[in-house]
Structures are given as C-alpha cells and as structure tokens.
Structure 1
Amino acid sequence: MPGISKKGRQMPASPIRKLVPYAEEAKKKGTQVIHLNIGQPDIKTPKIALDAVRNHNIEVLAYSMTEGSEAYRTKIAAYYEKKDIHVTSNEIIVTTGGSEALSFVMGTIMDADDEIIIPEPFYANYNGFATALGVKVVPIVSKIDDNFALPPISDFEKLITSKTKAILICNPGNPTGYLYSEQEIKQLAELVKKHNLFLIADEVYREFTYDGREHYSILQEDGLEEHAIIVDSVSKRYSMCGARIGCLVSKNKTVVQTALKFAQARLSPPTFAQIASEAALETPQSYFNDVIHEYAERRDILISELQKLPGVRVAIPQGAFYCVVELPVSNSDDFAQWLLEKFEMDGHTVMVAPAAGFYATNGLGTNQIRIAYVLEKPLLIKAVQILGEALKKYSN
C-alpha cells in the first residue's frame, strides 16, 4: 500500500478523544459514562445567538469576506475595548475556531524547525499544530507543587536559541486552570522584547476567572504592539463550540497581512456561524455573572470532594473550567482505559483525560488526569465518588 507521510505518523492522537471507542463500548454494555474528559460546557448557548440564525433572511448563502465580515469585526473590536484592549477591525481576522487562528499564527511567524517555547502541561493540540507545520515545541515545566504558576524567567532564557521565534501561553490555562498574574505577563513582555520574540496568548477562557481575580491580556501591556498576538474563540465564552468561530488579533500589521494570505487559502469563515457569533456579542453581563458563579461553585465542590480521596492531589484552578489531578497510580492512561472497560459502580463509570498527552516531555504527567467541571454539581459529586471507589479497586 502507498506510504503515509512522516508528518502524519508523528501527529499525536488526542488524549481527550482517543478513549472514545472504549466509552462507546461501555455504553453499549449499558454502563452510563460520566464525561469529565472534554471541555464541552452544558451551559445553554445565549438565545440571542440562536435566534439570529433562526430569523435570518439570507437567500443566497455566499462567501463572506476572507477576514470575516466588517460588521462582526467592528463589534469584536468594541468587545475588546470594554476589556481595555484597544484594537481596530483591521487588526482582527475571523477564523474557523481558535484552532485555525493558532495554525495561521504558527504558519505566519515560523518556518520548519523553528522553535516555540510553551509552559507544560498545555492544550494537547498545540503539539498537533506544531507537528503539522514542522515546528519544534520546546516545553518548560510548570509544576503542580506551584499550582502550575509561570516557571522562572531565567528558565525561559536558558531555552532561547537562534531558532526560537515565540513563547505561547494559555491564559487562563487549559488543562491547569491557572490564571497568569499581571506581574507574570509583564515578566514575559520584558523577555520577548529583550530577545525580539513573539508572545502568543490563547485567551479563549478570558471570561472565566474566580475569587475576585481579573484577567490581564498581553494586549493591555504597553510596548508589545509588534510582539503580541492573541488567539480567541466564541466556543467556551458563549457555549458555542459547534460554531467554530475564533479570531486572531494583533497590532503587528505584517503579521495580520501575512496571516490573511493563509486565510485566503481557505476562502472564508462560515457565514451562519458568524451571524450567531455577532449576535452573541450582545449577550448581557448578567449571563456571564451567572455562568461564572455556577463554575465557581462547581470548582469548589469538585476540589472539596477530590481532596477527600486518599493519595490524590489537585491544583486549584483560578480560571477556565479544568483542573489537573494527581492520582496514586503509575499510569493514568491505563487507569482511564480500565475505568471504561472493567469498572462500574451502580451502572456508572467516569471518563477522564490522561494528562501525559498534555505534556511534551516524555514521562511527565503519567500519574495525572485532567477533569473538566462542565457538569452539574450533583453529577460532579457522584463522579468523584465513583473515582474514589475505582481507585480502591484498581490499587488492589
């Protein structure tokens, strides 16, 4: 048979989705699977967004502008203005999800074998985008002992070479839920200016911060105009994962003009999804107040229940809706598969995301999992009870 590309062979499988076949088999056997593995919010999409699609009067579903509709980009700029991020519609490219935005960014600023430094654990698809483009991920370890805070800047400097083009952070973080402080952003800003690098921030969870903390964007930092690139998305903010609408934002004109050429190759972002996303920008603040309150309560209950389990350690998320949990097992991949294949409690089991897939360094995260607290509170409590019983049985 014809051969598969080296790049194709190297593409990593999703640690979130690779266990799906085992979950489907468990469901066929009648076991109810509680999904803690994927960040699909159960919060309802704002009605205003869905109504905008229902009430459209389009007669020809034509291509939109490559960079996204002018009306939508203008409203995105107004949204950022409220967040103390001052950009214009010409500094925004609408993309097919935040994923495409990141792919465009990597293609725009990096060539094959160039290097990008990313604190790990990180969103697993960063590895996939880098592999697809021939870019080398250089991981820098953040630790559960430090709640996954930014590693020391001196550790970053040790990793910078002539091939280094950028530092990438997710703020708040997936899978850790860590929220970078203004001081940490300022430290990174000084570093990228000193070494003439790009600073890329995946800010798709910007709205979700807890305990009175506030998000500080890299585009709020003076002097980063030529260095800063934001990746954003409507997926989590408005519980619109299926819309597949995101954007790339930068004040660096060359970056935007170059990324536009990548966007032209895929023609345009989807029209109906842009209509929904534009309408979603009219969502009242009360919606977010309620959502943030709900997630904060879910977090508190989840953490409280997990801390009751012997041998379990958990980092305290300050944003997003994920946490990394360290288990008293040697191989969380094996444990996660065992949960689906061989364990049930009262007809239920849980599906988790093994954390090794969120690390680029071999051997790290092998006893950790990521939990997404996107389920109602009683279900989270039940899921942790199942996890506790499963750990007892698995260790025996």
Structure 2
Amino acid sequence: MPEISVRGLEMPESPIRKLAPLAVAAKNRGIKVYHLNIGQPDLPTPQCGLDALKRIDRKLLEYSPSQGFLSYREKLCGFYKKFNINVTPDDIIITAGGSEAVLYSFMACLNPGDEIIVPEPAYANYMAFAISAGAKIKTIATSIEEGFALPKVEKFEELINERTRAIMICNPNNPTGYLYTRREMNQIRDLVKKYDLYLFSDEVYREYIYTGSPYISAMHLQGIENNTVLIDSVSKRYSECGIRIGALITKNEEIRKAVMKFCQARLSPPLIGQIVAEASLDAPASYYRDVYDEYVDRRKCLIDGLNRIPGVYSPIPMGAFYTVARLPVDDSEKFCRWCLNEFSYEGETVMMAPASGFYTTPGAGRNQVRIAYVLKREDLQQALVVLRKALETYPGRVEEE
C-alpha cells in the first residue's frame, strides 16, 4: 500500500473534536454529556437570518462570485464602520468560514519553510493550516499565572530570523479569552514594521469584550495597512457556525489578487450561507445586547464556580466565551477521556478540550483544559457540580503542595 503523505501524518488531531466518539458512546450508554469542549453557541440565530433562509425561493442554486456577493460585501462595510474599521467592498473576500480565510492567508503570503510567530496557547487549527501551507508555527509562551498576557518584545525578537514572515494573533483570544491591550497591539505593530512581517489577526470574537475598554483591531494600527490581514466569521457573532461564512479583509491589493486565485480554484463560497449572513446584518441592536449580556452572566457563573472548586484555577477571561483552567490532575487528556469513558455522577458527565492540544511546546498545558461557556446558566451550574465530583473521584488527582 502507498504511504500516507508527511503532511497527512503531521496533521494534528483536533483537541476540540477528537474525543467526540467517546461522547457519543457515553450518550449511547444513557449518560447526559455537558459539552464544554466546543465553541458552538446555543443562543438563537437572528430571526432575520432564519426568515431569509425560509424565504429562499429560487429556481437555481448557482455559483456565487468567487469573492462573494457584492451586496453582502457592501453591507459588511457598514457593519465594520461601527467598529471604526473603514474598508471598501473590494477589500473584502468572502470565504467558507474563518478557517478558509486563515488557510488562504497562509497560502497566499507564505512559502514552504516560512515561519509564523503565534502566542500559545493558540487555536489548534492554526497549526493544521500552517502544515497545509508548508509553513511552520513558532510559538511564544504565555502563562496562566500571568493571565496569558504577552511577554516583552525581546521574547518575540528572540524568535525572529530570516525565515520569519508573519505574526498571528487571535483577539479576543481563543482558547484563553485574553484581550490584547493597546500597549500590546502597539508592540506587535512595531515588530511588524521593524521586520516587515505580515500580521494575521483573527477577530471573530470582537463583539464579546467584557472590560469596557475600546476594541482595538489590527486594522486600527497605523503604518502597517499593507501588512495586515483580518480574519472574520459569522459563526460566533450570529450563532451561525453551520452556514460556513467568513471573510478575509486586507488593504493589500497583491494579497487579494493571490487569494483570489485560490478562491477561483475552489469556485465560490456557500450560496445559501451568504444569503443568511447578509440578512443577519439587519439584526436589531437588542439582539447584540441580549447575546452580550447572556455571555457576561455565563462568564461570571463559570469563572466563580471554577475557582470555588478545590485545586482549580481560572483567570478571568476578558473576551470571547472561553477560558483555560488549571485542574489538579496528572494529565488533562487522560482526565477528559476518563470523564467520558468511566465516570458519571447521577447519570451525567462533562466533556472538555484538553489544553495541551492548544500548545506546541511539549508538556505545556498538561494539567489545563479549555472550557467554552456556551451553555445556559442552569447547565453550566450543573456541569460545575459534575466537574467537582469528577475531580473528587479521579484516581489521577494531584494534590496541591
């Protein structure tokens, strides 16, 4: 039999999804599973988006333009202007989810062997997209003890060499919920300018910032307009993960020309998804306010509850709807598997994402998990009860010194 490609062998499993078969098996045994592992919001999609889906009355489901519908891109410009992001329809390319936007950014801007500096822990699929593009992720460590704040600029410069081509950030961050400060964003801007790097900025959680501080986009950073690529998606903003609509936004015409070649090769972004996403831009202010308030409440419920469990620590996330928590366990992946394979409390268990999958440094995150607070408050409260019981029972528990 022919051998699998090196790329296929190196491609990591998703820490978010690889335990899914165990969850299915637990459910088949009659166990209720609280899904804290995946950022799938349970809040409703805007009614205007659902209504647009129901009203579709077409004789033909045709290809859309490779860069996406002009009408949608025009409406997006108005949406971004609310965040002081001033772009034209030509600056926007619609993609099949934010994932495709990241992949095409890498494919268009990086050569095989080029290196991307990424603060870790980081969204696990960045590694997968880098492998697909033949690029290499070089991580710069942040720590749970310091709330995952960026290290000093010297730590970045230690990683920069002749192969370094880009810095990638997620702001607010998945998996930590960290929000980069103005000082940190200016630090990144200065590095990008000094070394003439690309800046890939994943900003799909911009609507969920809990500090009261003004939102700082990579597109706000002056002097690096042609170095910056913004990644966006409707998945989290409108609870529309399944329609697979994202966007790649850049002022750099050469990047757009290169990206469009990949877009043409895949023909077009999803037709139905664009119809729903465009209609969802008409969601009333009350929709955004209600969703935001719900996440604020869930965040408090989860973080307060986690930090009341003996041996557990979570910093307070400042954005998105995730946190990385440290558990008193020998190995978080073993613990997460055990919760699904062997444990239940009154017929219930929890599913979390082992945080080691969000690190590339060997051994990092070994006693941490990523938890998504995308369940209603009552379910979060019960999941915390179940987690506490699991930690009390787990044979690999590690007591604090």
Global fold match (TM > 0.5): yes
Shift of 1:2: 2.1
The correspondence of residues 252-271 of structure 1 with structure 2, limited to 5 A, is: 252-271=252-271
Percent identical among aligned pairs is 50
The correspondence of residues 381-392 of structure 1 with structure 2, limited to 5 A, is: 381-392=381-392
> Aligned residue for 1:76?
76
Question: Deviations for 1:131-168, whole angstroms, at most 9, x for unmatched residues?
Answer: 11111100000111111112211100110011001000
The correspondence of residues 86-165 of structure 1 with structure 2, limited to 5 A, is: 86-165=86-165
Separation of aligned partners in 1, 2:241 and 2:201? 19
Structure 1 runs not aligned, ≥5 long: none
- Report if the CA contact (8 A) 1:177-1:322 is conserved: yes
The correspondence of residues 344-355 of structure 1 with structure 2, limited to 5 A, is: 344-355=344-355
| TM-score (normalizing by structure 1) | 0.99
Misfit runs of 4+, over 6 Å: none
Shift of 1:211: 3.3
Separation of aligned partners in 2, 1:154 and 1:284? 45
1:319 corresponds to which letter in structure 2? Answer: G
Question: Deviations for 1:308-345, whole angstroms, at most 9, x for unmatched residues?
Answer: 11111112100000000001112000000000011000
Shift of 1:214: 3.0
Separation of aligned partners in 1, 2:247 and 2:216? 18
Q: CA RMSD in A?
A: 0.9
2:32 corresponds to which letter in structure 1? Answer: Q
* 2:138 aligned counterpart, secondary structure: strand
Shift of 1:187: 1.2
> Aligned residue for 1:194?
194
Separation of aligned partners in 1, 2:109 and 2:211? 36
* 2:394 aligned counterpart, secondary structure: helix
Structure 2 runs not aligned, ≥5 long: none
Shift of 1:59: 1.4
Separation of aligned partners in 2, 1:2 and 1:196? 42
1:198 corresponds to which letter in structure 2? Answer: Y
Shift of 1:10: 0.7
Q: How many residues align?
A: 396
- Report if the CA contact (8 A) 2:172-2:205 is conserved: yes
- Report if the CA contact (8 A) 1:179-1:215 is conserved: no
- Report if the CA contact (8 A) 2:298-2:373 is conserved: yes
> Aligned residue for 2:285?
285
Separation of aligned partners in 2, 1:11 and 1:171? 25
Separation of aligned partners in 2, 1:383 and 1:82? 37
- Report if the CA contact (8 A) 1:166-1:199 is conserved: yes
Separation of aligned partners in 2, 1:135 and 1:289? 40
| TM-score (normalizing by structure 2) | 0.97
Separation of aligned partners in 2, 1:144 and 1:121? 10
* 2:230 aligned counterpart, secondary structure: strand
Shift of 1:52: 1.0
Separation of aligned partners in 2, 1:63 and 1:23? 37
Question: Deviations for 1:21-54, whole angstroms, at most 9, x for unmatched residues?
Answer: 1111111111111111000000000010111121
Separation of aligned partners in 2, 1:61 and 1:30? 41
